């Protein structure tokens, strides 16, 4: 027979479990309601040539929104126009150039009129150059920050008056690597910056009725996680290294990294991009969107919990399977 103390603990666990289930059921019902009049709401999406941005543009078009899809190439614009309804508008955008952002913003201002802009989704981003920190120069950092961080800030500021007018949404695509840094180089730096900008903007815009939401995906199969692109970046940077740095890492370091990247990325990358797109769509269309979304089981069950772990533990787990430099201290 169980003691009174054991029965009490069992009852407490049951109540705790019931409360967790109740929380998620209530949240699910609250999040079902969608905003009305989608046909009069304009949504501006960056990085629509491929990947998440391209899929989101198509998806929101099917949902009835008026999409303004920003592409870097004419080919991207043409393909979206062919595959979407007449509601979609496309615009060329280079997020590293102020005049390009201003030109796109002026186009949108003429398009939306007095209604304002319902939403902007800052999706454009790159993942290279990628390598250990001591392989890189300040310019390597600047080139990525110009797209992944400055681009997010610049695009947002260029249309924020229109967003305020509509009491709309700003959706910033960060990464689970904006919470933890398992890789060297500027990518995680840029995503930490997006997280900081997102949080400060959310507080600033709250009095104006503007919602600011953040998407933090795990590993998904896109150009950002393309092992061939990442390996090419590593090889290019290796060739530029001074002899003493190459000696630190060893002649076979790059070949080992290539094998490791291909194995890990193929195992970890989720091919179902709609998991991320569905979160983006919810952030734009739900009456009660979440503040943060973390699509991907690796994000939910590994990376986010690891970001809250003690530093010694997270460092141990991230260093456990890395390719060790030849001159690494034992």
Question: What is the widest separation between alpha-carbon atoms in the chain?
Answer: 77
Average pLDDT score, the chain: 93
* CA distances from residue 23 to 19, 27, 215 in whole angstroms, order as listed: 6, 6, 22
Domain residue ranges of the chain, discontinuous segments joined by +: 34-219+272-319
Q: Could you report the per-residue pLDDT of 145-179, keeping only the tens digit for each? A: 999 999 999 999 999 999 999 999 999 999 999 99
15-24, 108-117, 165-174: segment of lowest average pLDDT: 15-24
Asked whether the CA dihedral 178, 69, 114, 87 is positive or negative, the reply is negative
Q: Is the pLDDT of residue 107 over 90?
A: yes
* pLDDT bracket for residue 11 (50, 70, 90): confident
Alpha-carbon torsion 164, 169, 173, 179, what sign? positive
Name the pairing type of β-strands 42-45 and 292-293. unpaired
CATH 3.40.50.720, applies to 34-219+272-319: yes
pLDDT digits (tens, 9 = 90+) for 287-324: 999 999 999 999 999 999 999 999 999 999 999 888 89
- Using alpha carbons, list the distances in angstroms from residue 86 to 39, 68, 120, 169: 12, 11, 20, 23
Residue % of the chain over a pLDDT of 70? 99
* From 23, 24, 42, 187, the catalytic residue: 187
The Cα 66–Cα 52 span in angstroms is 18
| pLDDT on residue 330 | 63
State mean pLDDT over 197-219: 97
Residue 44 is encoded by which pair of tokens? 């501006």
| Mean per-residue pLDDT, 8-17 | 82
Query: Is the per-residue pLDDT at 220 higher than 70?
Result: yes
* pLDDT, position 104: 98
- pLDDT value, residue 13: 86
For residues 44-73, average pLDDT: 97
pLDDT tens-place string over residues 122-134: 999 999 998 999 9
Instruction: Report the alpha-carbon angle 48-293-50, nearest 5.
Output: 15
The pTM (predicted TM-score) of the whole model is 0.90
**What's the CA gap between 120 and 105, in Å, rounded?**
11
pLDDT at 25: 86
pLDDT bucket at 208, cuts 50 / 70 / 90: very high
Average pLDDT over residues 50-57: 96
Higher pLDDT, 43 or 17: 43
Provide the pLDDT confidence category of residue 2 given band limits of 50, 70 and 90.
Answer: low
Average pLDDT over residues 54-66: 97
pLDDT band at 1 (very low <50, low <70, confident <90, very high): low
The answer to whether residue 233 scores a pLDDT higher than 80 is: yes
As given in the structure block, the two tokens for residue 75 are 């080919």
CB 45 within 8 A of CB 56: yes
Nearest one of 122, 86, 87 to 104, comparing CA atoms: 122
Active site residue 187: yes
């Amino acid at each position: 027979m169980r003691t009174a103390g054991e029965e009490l603990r069992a009852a407490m666990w049951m109540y705790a479990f019931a409360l967790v289930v109740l929380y998620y059921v209530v949240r699910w019902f609250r999040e079902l309601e969608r905003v009305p009049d989608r046909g009069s709401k304009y949504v501006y999406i960056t990085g629509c040539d491929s990947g998440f941005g391209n899929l989101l543009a198509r998806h929101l078009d099917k949902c009835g929104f008026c999409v303004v899809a920003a592409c870097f190439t004419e080919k991207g614009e043409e393909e979206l126009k062919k595959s979407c309804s007449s509601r979609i508008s496309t615009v060329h955008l280079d997020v590293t150039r102020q005049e390009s952002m201003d030109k796109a913003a002026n186009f949108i201002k003429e398009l939306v009129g007095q209604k304002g802009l319902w939403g902007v989704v800052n999706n454009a981003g790159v993942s290279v150059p990628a390598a250990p920190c001591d392989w890189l120069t300040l310019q390597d950092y600047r080139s990525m920050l110009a797209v992944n961080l400055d681009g997010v800030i610049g695009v947002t500021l260029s249309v924020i008056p229109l967003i305020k007018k509509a009491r709309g949404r700003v959706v910033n695509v960060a990464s689970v690597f904006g919470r933890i840094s398992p890789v060297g180089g500027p990518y995680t730096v840029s995503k930490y910056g997006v997280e900081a900008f997102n949080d400060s903007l959310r507080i600033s815009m709250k009095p104006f009725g503007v919602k600011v939401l953040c998407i933090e995906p795990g590993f998904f199969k896109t150009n950002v996680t393309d092992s061939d692109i990442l390996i090419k970046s590593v090889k290019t940077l290796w060739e530029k290294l001074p002899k003493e740095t190459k000696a630190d890492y060893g002649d076979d370091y790059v070949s080992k990294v290539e094998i490791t990247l291909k194995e890990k990325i193929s195992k970890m990358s989720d091919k179902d991009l709609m998991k991320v797109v569905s979160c983006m769509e919810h952030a734009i269309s739900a009456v009660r969107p979440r503040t943060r979304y973390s699509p991907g089981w690796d994000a939910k069950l590994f990376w986010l919990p690891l970001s809250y772990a003690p530093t010694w533990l997270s460092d141990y787990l991230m260093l456990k399977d890395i390719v060790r430099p030849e001159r690494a201290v034992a």
